[in-house]
Amino acid sequence: MKTKAKTYDMDLCEGSLWKKILFFSVPLMFSNVLQVVFNMSDVAVVGKFAGPVALGAVGSTSILVTLFTGILLGLSSGVNALTALYIGSKNEENVRETVHTAAILCLITGVLITLLGIAFSRPILTAMHTKDELIEDALVYLRIYLLGMPALGIFNFGNSVLSAAGDTKRPLYYLSLAGVLNVLMNLVFVIVFHMGVAGVATASILAQYFSAVMILVLLLRSKECFGLQLRSLRISPDKLQRIIRIGIPSAFQYAIFALANLFVQTGVNSFDHVMVEGNSAASNADPLVYDMMAAFYTACSSFIAQNYGAQKRDRIKKSYLICMLYSFLVGLFLGVGIYLLRYSFLSLFTNDTAVVNAGIKRLSVMALSYSVSAFMDNTIAASRGLGRTILPTIMVILGSCVFRIAWIYTVFAFFGTIESLYLLYVFSWLITAVAEIIYFVRVFRTIKK
């Protein structure tokens, strides 16, 4: 069993970085995209077969879904960085303690998100000025979807551990199966059983539990130091503190980022329902592009953490620059590509011509904007790989959150156009990227050769 596992693991401290980062990231890119498919297939099926009201209802919850899942992603980034650090320094006992502590932490966090999310979903949707004709369906979808948070916590935990060891292939296999299962169940629940938004939400959580069970079984059967053993499941106070030190600022970053986007959604909701539905359709491009780019951010954090543990300073710098270039090119290619195929892309989610035209307004602004986010997000991932998260998180809060809210009440309030609202993304990314890069360079210079 141990020999078989080694065929999946990758040594991140030796060999060509150009080649290894690409081979590491490509399976992760598809894994991330398949997670996006869970929500995107929901939107596509309800938009095609349940009508524009159902489309708007599911789309109006997208920021909240991003908020809740982002907390789990931020926490798992701490698991990834710490596990990779100990693997790089070849400290197997610390790897085992980290993995078992993280499993408990991620599961408990998923359960808490489910309970709190269900309890406060209506007040939050009301505060977002969700349209009266959308709010009831939005509540049904969100509350069912939140039942899948414990499964998502477990899968993200397992995915983080395996990617820290250089294995990004098997999580892709599991998500591929879960993605196909999700789409099939979407079609059956909506077209055959006429369950509407409840059907697509139920399909999503069943697929999430399927992928969680698959990755959990893999880790329980693994004989490697990062494998799970039920008798060893206990919290190590030291490892818990270190995971939280890295993961909580990252989770907080996701949460604050999503909170700032709630203000953006509120701005969108100030327009008529056609613009809201067009924004819901076009915003499906966001997770598709972001998550493809995010594969290189995970690579950046994993490669830097392992090489930091192995004390290989030159590979830290090269990993950062290579991941930056890769993520920038992916963002540029996808952003422009989706715009060129804008009618085909938007037709996946709606048959309404007015909604399509409204969605094009967003895609026209975002086409060249996505690639700019690479400079900010890749640098944050690099700092996380070095164990630094607090100051980068503060910079994100000021640059990408406070700045956005200020933009809404100044620039958007002055012009009042949907384009002036969408432009806040690229400007907030630019100013935050400058601050993050300056910080990373200063930290990198303190590392001993």
Q: Which residues of 267-290 are buried (b: 16+ CB within 10 A; e: fewer)?
A: bbbebebbbbbbbbbbbbbbbbbb
Q: Which of 266, 276, 287, 249 is nearest to 366 (CA)?
A: 287
First to last CA, the chain: 38
Q: Is residue 29 part of a domain?
A: yes
What is the reported pLDDT for 37?
66
At which residue do the structure tokens 């004989």 appear?
Answer: 223
CB 92 within 8 A of CB 398: no
Q: Which of 372, 368, 407, 392 is nearest to 441 (CA)?
A: 392
Q: Is residue 8 part of a domain?
A: no
Q: Answer left, alpha or beta for residue 97, where phi above 0 means left and psi between -120 and 50 means alpha.
A: alpha
CB 278 within 8 A of CB 362: yes
Angle between helices 62-88 and 92-127 (to 10 degrees): 170
Q: What is the largest CA-CA distance in the chain?
A: 64
Angle between helices 92-127 and 132-146 (to 10 degrees): 160
78 vs 81, 108, 208, 260, 361, CA distance in Å? 5, 16, 21, 23, 37
CA 402 to chain CA centroid, nearest Å: 21
Number of domain units in the chain: 1
Specify the length of the chain in residues.
Answer: 449
DSSP 104-146: HHHHHHHHHHHHHHHHHHHHHHHHTT--HHHHHHHHHHHHHHH
What is the reported pLDDT for 411?
92
- Residues in the chain predicted with pLDDT less than 50, given as ranges, are 1-6
Q: Which of 115, 88, 211 is nearest to 157 (CA)?
A: 211
Q: Is residue 387 part of a domain?
A: yes
Tokens of 180: 């196909």
At which residue do the structure tokens 């780019």 appear?
Answer: 293
What is the reported pLDDT for 4?
42
Distance CA 35, CA 58 (A): 16
Q: Is residue 275 part of a domain?
A: yes
CB 113 within 8 A of CB 72: yes
What is the reported pLDDT for 68?
85
Q: Is residue 191 part of a domain?
A: yes
Tokens of 137: 């369906």
Distance CA 45, CA 196 (A): 9
Q: Is residue 4 part of a domain?
A: no
CB 409 within 8 A of CB 421: no
Other CB atoms within 10 Å distance of the CB of residue 15: 12
Its domain, for residue 176, covers 15-445
| DSSP H or E segment with residue 355 | helix 353-366
Q: Is residue 2 part of a domain?
A: no
Distance CA 302, CA 92 (A): 17
CA 271 to chain CA centroid, nearest Å: 28
Q: Is residue 37 part of a domain?
A: yes
CB 189 within 8 A of CB 153: no
Burial class (CB in 10 A: 0-12, 13-18, 19+), 409: exposed
- DSSP letter at 191? I
Write out pLDDT tens, residues 184-236.
998 899 888 888 889 989 998 999 999 999 999 999 999 888 999 988 899 99
Rounded CA Rg of the chain: 21
Q: How many helices (H) and strands (E) does the chain have?
A: 21, 0
